[in-house]
A and B are shown apart, each in its own frame.
Chain A
Amino acid sequence: MSDPKITAGIDIGSITAKAVVMRDGNILGTRVRFTGYNAKKAGQDVLDGLLSEIGLMPNEVATVVSTGYGRNAVDFADKAITEITCHGAGAWFINPEIRFVIDVGGQDSKVIRLDNNGKVVDFAMNDKCAAGTGRFLEVMARALEMDLEAFGDLSLAGTPAKISSICTVFAESEVVSLIAKGETRENIIAGIHESVASRISAMARRIGIVLPIMMTGGVAKNKGILQAMEKKLGAPIVVSGYAQVNGALGAAILAGRM
């Protein structure tokens, strides 16, 4: 084994694959790419890309942990650990004060309660429904013919339009009819964000919210969602610069404990 110990975490999500490489508790680099149809290749490519970027050889990595829905497809990983445990470990690494993690990814959203040692006490995930996830937002962006990146800032100026449906497909038709009625994009997007925030806050309350809260996952980059979530939960939410790669970060940390 190389010394000091270099570890890697790979998070294969439904939309993007993320990699984080660490050396003795320090982040050496992160990388994100689209997952595509081949999860194993995505995992290999995202790690290889990151290693060459930071000037390391694959054989210098002592331990690899994979996570995310494609975790079992990454056959070169030493261990597969679920994204629940990894997001908990990642958030706690960034800020050990954190007791609650809200992760909104491409196809699922989850809430995780941590104890004083960063151990997962309880969690809940959305089930069989894409409402309240990144995919939901993508569908809505398509309906509004907009770039998802612009969603967050634009919605901050809006007054939330009412989106009552909890189903992605039906909510899309609702959005189409709101457009037809001449509702502004700002208001529609604010309404979409409020609907996502409502679903997630209900899930969070189910397992009991403990402060402080951190939001992770790609959707945490969206300021509109963040603001809507804070309003629903009545509490500030911390977002780190590593939000999108937080699962891979947790995996790299857990690899260091193996």
Chain B
Amino acid sequence: MSDVNGKNIDSGKDNHRIKSVSRMKEILTGYYIDAKTARENGKKVAWITSGGPVEPLIAMDVIPVYPENHGAMVGASKMGVDLCQKAEEMGYSSDLCSYARADIACAVTQGGPIGGLPEPDFLVCCNNICGTVLKWYEVVARHYHVPLFILDTPFIHREMKKEAQQYVMDQIYEYIEFLEKQCGRKMDYDRMNEVGVLAVEGLRLWQAVLDTATHKPSPISAFDAFFHLGLIVTLRGTQVTVDYYKGLLDEMNERISNNIAMVPGEKYRLLWDNLPIWYRTRWLSDKFASHNACLVADTYTSAWSGVLPLIDENRFLETMSLSYSNVYINISHDMMINKLREMIEKYDADGLVMHSNRSCKPYSLGQYDLQKMVMDQLKIPTLIIEADMVDERHFAESQIETRIDAFMETLKS
């Protein structure tokens, strides 16, 4: 009989713990210290959206800072409600994205887990992940009185037409001009090529790490991927990121050789859709593990490397228009269902768990249609959990627990 209390689940025990975690924390701590002390070291800081093109910033030696990554930290530190309420007091709607609310509140109060983000010298906003970022970054630009560059990526219904590719490409060069102006020096294209090659290498390694979950039992779960994703978002295109994922991949392969499962006694393999519920990752991980279920993959952490087939590392800049426009939530449901089908087959998933995320409208819109498509076409059971990535007020534990238990009962029967 499975342990419904989750007490005997030993995912936290030493032999199951991923050792690279400490190295990751070390790198991220160093990164935030560098960002916080950028001014003293004569470096520029740019705030950038999570799906934005960071590589030109790295090539220009600018420190990229991610309000969304910060939002995830706020969520994981369970500081979301206070900060969201603060933003609501300022007049922002409670329907606004909780990353945006938490981040705007942090900018004003210097609150949150790291006492606020370092002030930006300029902002880079790419709308391939949502439309909210446009207004959010305008608010930030007004607050700090700094320039804002907007990269507009058209939504992809079926394919990206040549004209659309050119439209984005023109903006990539405008982006580089913008950076040259902000930094007061020219772009070194040799350096840019180098960064492009490193970015692709990092993405390939990250995908390889995620692919180790095809092994049964899986050495890694989506809950781990949520954490280890950090560097592929923030420091893509750097050697430190490449080295980190090499180490992580080695560790995963070692776990496979030693037959170490992330969920001991793994019986059910599930796919997760949408952002994590940052303040409840542990609870959810234990809950699924108590049913011998491992979330082996997710559409979120694979979004960055999902565009790898569209990138030519030797023509990195030229292929940026395609790779940055075709990210998972900037594509149609027909394209999404194909991705889901690929993932369900690749990871041999028994079920799909969808987080209907009150904050992330573009990710959550149409989930019921996708759910229906998955059940009709792919014939696997699905579960929708209604919550929010940062704002805990939208998480109802007993309701969610009943849904997960009932879903697992259906899967087991």
**Docked pose: A84 CA to B410 CA in angstroms:** 9
| A side interface size, CB within 8 A | 19
CB contacts under 8 Å to A, within B377-413, are 381, 386, 394, 396, 398-399, 402-403, 405-406, 409-410, 413
User: A residues within 8 A CB of B386?
Assistant: 127-128
- Are the C-beta atoms of A128 and B381 separated by less than 8 Å? no
Q: A119-B413, A120-B413, A122-B375 are in contact. Are A69 and B398 (CB under 8 A)?
A: yes
Known: A85-B409, A119-B413. A125 touches B4 (CB 8 A): no
CA separation between A206 and B403, bound complex, in Å? Answer: 16
Segment of A75-83, A145-153, A171-179 engaged in the interface with chain B: A75-83
Which residues on B sit within 8 Å (CB–CB) of A127? 386, 396, 399
List residues 35-62 of chain A with CB under 8 A from any CB of chain B.
Answer: none
| B368 contacts chain A at the CB level, 8 A cutoff | yes
CA distance A83 to B410 in the complex (A): 12
| Contact assessment for A69 and B402 in the assembled complex, using a CB-CB cutoff below 8 Å | yes
**Which residues of chain A from 88 to 129 have a CB within 8 Å of any chain B CB?**
108, 119-123, 125, 127-128
- Asked if B396 and A80 sit within 8 Å, CB to CB, the answer is no
Give Cα A128 to B1, complex, Å.
Answer: 31
Complex Cα gap A120–B382 (Å): 12
Q: A69 to chain B: which residues have CB within 8 Å?
A: 398, 402
The majority secondary structure among interface residues of chain A is mixed
Partner of A82, one of B368, B394, B409: B409
Contacts of A222 in B (CB 8 A): none
Q: Chain B residues near A121 (CB, 8 Å)?
A: 381, 410
1/0 contact string of B1-24 vs chain A (CB within 8 Å): 100100000000000000000000
Contacts of B403 in A (CB 8 A): 125
Check if A240 is an interface residue, CB within 8 A of chain B. no
A79 to B405, CA, bound (A): 12
Check: A72 CB closer than 8 A to any chain B CB: yes
Taking residues whose C-beta sits less than 8 angstroms from the other chain, chain B's interface range is 10 to 19
Mark contacts of A119-142 with chain B using CB atoms, 8 A cut-off: 1 yes-contact digit, 0 otherwise: 111110101100000000000000
Determine the main DSSP class of B at the interface with A: helix
- Given A72-B4, A80-B4, A128-B386, A120:B398 Cβ within 8 A: no
In the assembled complex, the Cα of A72 lies from the Cα of B7 at a distance in Å of 14
B393: nearest residue on chain A (CB-CB)? Answer: A128
Q: Considering only CB atoms, which chain A residue lies closest to B394 in the complex?
A: A128
Q: Which of A72, A80, A81, A122 is within 8 Å of B381, CB to CB?
A: A122
Residues of A close to B410: CB separation below 8 A: 84-85, 119-123
Task: Write the chain B residue with the least CB distance to A82.
Answer: B406
Known contacts A72-B4, A206-B368; A84 and B398 CB within 8 A of each other: no
Which residue of the partner chain, among A82, A128, A206, contacts B396 with CB atoms under 8 Å?
A: A128
Contact A82–B399 (Cβ < 8 Å): no
B402 touches A83 (CB 8 A): yes
Q: How far is the CB of B358 from chain A (nearest CB, A)?
A: 10
Given the complex of chains A and B, what is the CA–CA distance between A200 and B368 in angstroms? Answer: 16
CB distance from A257 to the nearest CB of B (A): 10
Q: Is the CB of B394 within 8 A of A81?
A: no
How many Å from the CB of A126 to the closest CB on chain B? 9
CB-nearest residue of chain B relative to A128? B396
Question: A128 near B399 (CB under 8 angstroms)?
Answer: yes
Contact B406 A123 (CB under 8 A): yes
Q: Are A85 and B396 in contact (CB under 8 A)?
A: no
By beta carbon, the residue of chain B nearest A126 is B399
Residues of A near B394 (CB, < 8 A) are 128
In-complex Cβ contact of A84 among B4, B396, B406 (8 A): B406
Contacts of A206 in B (CB 8 A): 368
Q: Chain B residues in contact with chain A, CB under 8 A?
A: 1, 4, 368, 375, 381, 386, 394, 396, 398-399, 402-403, 405-406, 409-410, 413
Q: Could you list 27 examples of A-B contacts with CB < 8 Å? A: A69-B398, A72-B4, A80-B4, A82-B402, A82-B405, A82-B409, A83-B406, A84-B402, A84-B409, A84-B410, A85-B406, A85-B410, A119-B410, A119-B413, A120-B413, A121-B410, A122-B375, A122-B381, A122-B410, A123-B410, A127-B386, A127-B396, A128-B386, A128-B394, A128-B396, A128-B399, A206-B368
Instruction: Identify the A interface with B (CB < 8 A).
Output: 69, 72, 79-85, 108, 119-123, 125, 127-128, 206
Q: Nearest 6 pairs between A and B by C-beta?
A: A84-B406, A82-B406, A85-B409, A127-B386, A82-B405, A120-B410
Name 8 extra pairs, CB < 8 A, besides A127-B399, A128-B394. A81-B409, A82-B402, A82-B406, A84-B409, A85-B409, A85-B413, A120-B406, A120-B409
